[in-house]
Chains A and B, each alone.
Chain A
Amino acid sequence: MADLVALVLSGGGGERVSVLSSERAVSAIPFGGKYRIVDFALSNCRHSDVEYIGVLTQHAPTSLHDHIGAGRPWDLDRRDHGVMILQPYLTRGTSGWYRGTADAIAQNWDVVEDLKCERVLVLSGDHVYRMDYRALLEHHGATGAALTLGVTRVPPDQSRRFGMATVDESGRVTRLIEKPEHAAGSIASMGIYVFETDVLRRALTSGPVDLVADVITPLIDSGADAAAFEFEGYWEDVGTIGSYYRASLDLVAEHPRLALDDRSWPILTRDEERPPVRVSDDASIESSLISNGCRIAGTVSRSVLSPGVVIEPGARVEDSVIFQDVVIERDAHVRRAIVDKYVQLGAGARIGGDAGGPEWLEGLVLIGKDARVPPRARIEPGAVVGVGAVNEDFAGPVRAGVRLPNRTWYGDRG
């Protein structure tokens, strides 16, 4: 589709996912074992024949840039199109940092103009779903709308998490309210938009900061023709700890709502070369997703393991999400935790449990990248261990509600 450019918003710092985004963009957080969250949007683009893609990054983008590279896994390493990383830059006239989503698009508007695209598809890099954008674009074309919003039904009690849309009988969005306490309907905006390029160009001239507050809501309020396209498949914004955790655990439910193994719509990712999963004599594995390169000698249930995780004999992992190359030593127990890359959990450590700590953490334990948790350490449910935590951080049990500080790899307190 040469008349279209997709802009994937991946700049968010994601304060709501705590240590998981200390050193990476939310879009680059591992999901489903071997994937990163952004793989879903990029794979959707690839399978929907979207050929021009700009990924807007700002917060800690290294990991995301490494992951996307030249776009090879998605066949986006093309000579004259493909994927571009759009990072803030300086000019003589501007400070460069993106002040918000609309500002990020405005600062890269040259890219859109150079491609001479008639339409701009705006996506988020933080969503997990499989969607054929061609149906959305066809709907947009057929209705002749100025913009089209992807919408989906959500339970009414979830309205506080979403932009709630009012849709009239002709399928037009007449109102959009951000995160209302109570919503009249159940139709939520997915954060997926198709704009006629002219419409977006005009809206950006007034210097908007936020795409929803300063562009889309004013357009709707001023009576612009905004169509709604209802998406009926599984869709989840995983930008909070709770939603991320639940979406991860849903993958190991008896009937997962998101199919990762549909050969007609594979989720494409940058795959590191790893050997098959090695299962040892005392291993016991149930209801889990285990990626290549893992070595399992302990017990794993209802958990998602990224590549290269080592579970030693006697160790037990339940209801948890474990990122790449984590080592869980002998007889350590982990329950309801999200453990970031390269963490080492010492022998006999007791991590997590059922409840405790602040509400946003939902009783989970988060352990930041590179942390070294000493043998027999105790971390109570509802605690957060900072990136690179070291031995001396664990003098006593880490209590619910405590957040151990991040440390940089060269030793200072960060």
Chain B
Amino acid sequence: MRSSRYAFILAGGVGSRLCLLSERRAKPAVPFGGKYRIIDFTLSNCVNSGIYDIGVLTQYRPTSLNRHVGTGRAWDLDRSRGGIQILQPALGSIQSDWYQGTADAIYQNLIHLRRRRVDQVLVLSGDHVYRMDYDVLYAYHLANRASVTVAVTEVPEHTVNQFGILETDPNGRVVGFQEKPRKSVSRLASMGVYLFDRDTLIRWLVEDAGIESSSHDFGKDLLPRLVARGESVFAYKFPDYWQDVGTLDSYYDANMAFAGEKPPLDPADPDGVVHTQSADRPPVAFQIGSHARNSLIANGCRIAGTVERSVLFPGVSVEAGAVVRDSIVMHDTVVSRGAVLDRAILDKEVQVGAGARLGVGDASVPNRVCPEHLSSGLLLVGKGAELPEGVSVGRNARIGAGVTRDRITSDIPPGGVVDGPDAMH
């Protein structure tokens, strides 16, 4: 029998670069790929690698994630021993507070390792899209007699400033670690997948908790310190697709790649099915006059209009004469007759009025309030927003969750903003 394994999944991040999409839900709970949530990839990797004992660390807006994970049933994680547990910050223990950083989050949950008979602890992130057999990581770790193994992926040179970059010796041992360096000779980026020897993890977390200047983060504090002090840290180079979908542009591109002719991974691959909580929805109903091409369309959708190069989540209705092009449309959104969507991301339950035009005009005008995230010509509409008939919405515009019809009295220019009733910047 396989020795028992335990994984922590870090799912507490604010995900501010995803703007409206993660305003009301944790980033791992953001819908992805037509029916999944981002965390489904990590959860499925765990169960497909035989790991059925998991703690999910949440902090920011966990409701949506909680509801999605439920009892863990979709991943066969509803078990009498092990299974899945949501670890939200709590009061009552000796040191207890909001999680200060990723390392602190695990530190505050070390209690969960106390009675678990595991030699290693897997620390994962719930923010990434990839398929990985963690068995291979364990084997690599043991073969190297490592005390920590970090999974790494090669990234383009100009993006090293977005990642933790590792330098290795020819044996794969990590000799340098820099968090988001401006420049680096190495292009090996940490995937946020760490395998620790149990005792090593506990020892270093306890030490880190006592260092006042630390921000208690794995990438910023813990790993550089481990490497600098000669701990046996190895890098495991992961050869396949791995994508951080933490920015609107990377999120959009990754979704489009899944809808393309050669998707980066097949969620139905029998060797590693991506599991998710599926609602009971009927098959997709294509009606008379529908045109659909190069798209992913989930159960429960009704298509009477045109859909091109788009990702449609369950229950989306595209009425006759409507066009959805290069867009991502989430659950139960209605695109009424004659409306046109171009490079738009619509959250759940949005109502697009008849003849409305989303994604018009100049793409070079960045968004007025979040120019750093919304400047490539995408357009964002928050959950439950209502767009009146015939309205025109410019590119890089942002319409907040819950905006009602009467709040929009004129066309919205490129880069424009309409805030919802409880907007947060």
Contacts and interface: CB of A to CB of B under 8 A. Distances in A.
Q: Do A and B bind each other?
A: yes
Interface stretch (A2-10, A139-147, A262-270): A262-270
B282 interface: yes
Given A273-B275, A281-B261, A34 B294 contact: no
Interface in B250-264: 259, 261, 263
Contacts of A160: none
B285 A275 contact: no
B35 A275 contact: yes
Interface string B262-281: 01001110000111101011
A267 B285 CA distance: 15
B287 A273 contact: no
Contacts of A280: 261, 293-294
A316 to B, nearest CB: 15
A34 B35 contact: no
Nearest to B295: A279
Interface string B72-96: 0010000000000000000000000
B299 A276 contact: yes
Interface of B: 33-35, 74, 259, 261, 263, 266-268, 273-276, 278, 280-300, 302-303, 307, 311-313
A32 B282 CA distance: 8
B34 A275 contact: yes
Given A267-B280, A290-B284, A275 B268 contact: yes
B293 A274 contact: no
A279 B288 contact: no
A288 B274 contact: no
Contacts, number: 115
Contact of A275 (B267, B281, B286, B292): B267
Contacts of A283: 292-293
Given A276-B298, A277-B296, A277-B297, A254 B288 contact: yes
A69 to B, nearest CB: 13
Q: Determine the main DSSP class of A at the interface with B.
A: loop
B293 A281 contact: yes
Contacts of B284: 277, 289-292
Contacts of A305: 283
A292 B286 CA distance: 13
Contact of A285 (B35, B261, B292): B292
B283 A32 contact: yes
A34 B268 contact: no
B282 A261 contact: yes
Contact of B283 (A33, A275, A278, A281): A33
Interface in A276-335: 276-293, 300, 304-305, 308
Interface residues of A, number: 38
Contacts of A292: 35, 278, 283-284, 298-299
Nearest to B332: A263
B298 to A, nearest CB: 4
A359 interface: no
A198 interface: no
A269 B280 contact: yes
A15 to B, nearest CB: 29
A268 B307 CA distance: 28
A260 interface: yes
Given A261-B281, A284-B291, A276 B300 contact: no
A78 to B, nearest CB: 15
Contacts of B276: 273
B286 A293 contact: no
A347 B116 CA distance: 56
B288 A289 contact: no
Contact of A273 (B259, B278, B290, B294): B278
A49 interface: no
B294 A281 contact: yes
A118 interface: no
Interface in A27-47: 32-34
Contacts of A293: 268
A188 B285 CA distance: 32
B278 to A, nearest CB: 5
B282 A33 contact: yes
B215 to A, nearest CB: 39
A266 to B, nearest CB: 5
Given A34-B299, A277-B298, A292-B299, A271 B287 contact: no
Given A32-B282, A32-B283, A291-B299, A274 B261 contact: no
11 contacts: A275-B33, A276-B312, A276-B313, A278-B295, A283-B293, A286-B288, A289-B283, A290-B284, A291-B283, A291-B299, A308-B268
B289 A286 contact: yes
A260 B35 contact: no
Contacts of B33: 275-276
Contact of A279 (B285, B297, B299): B297
Contacts of B302: 261
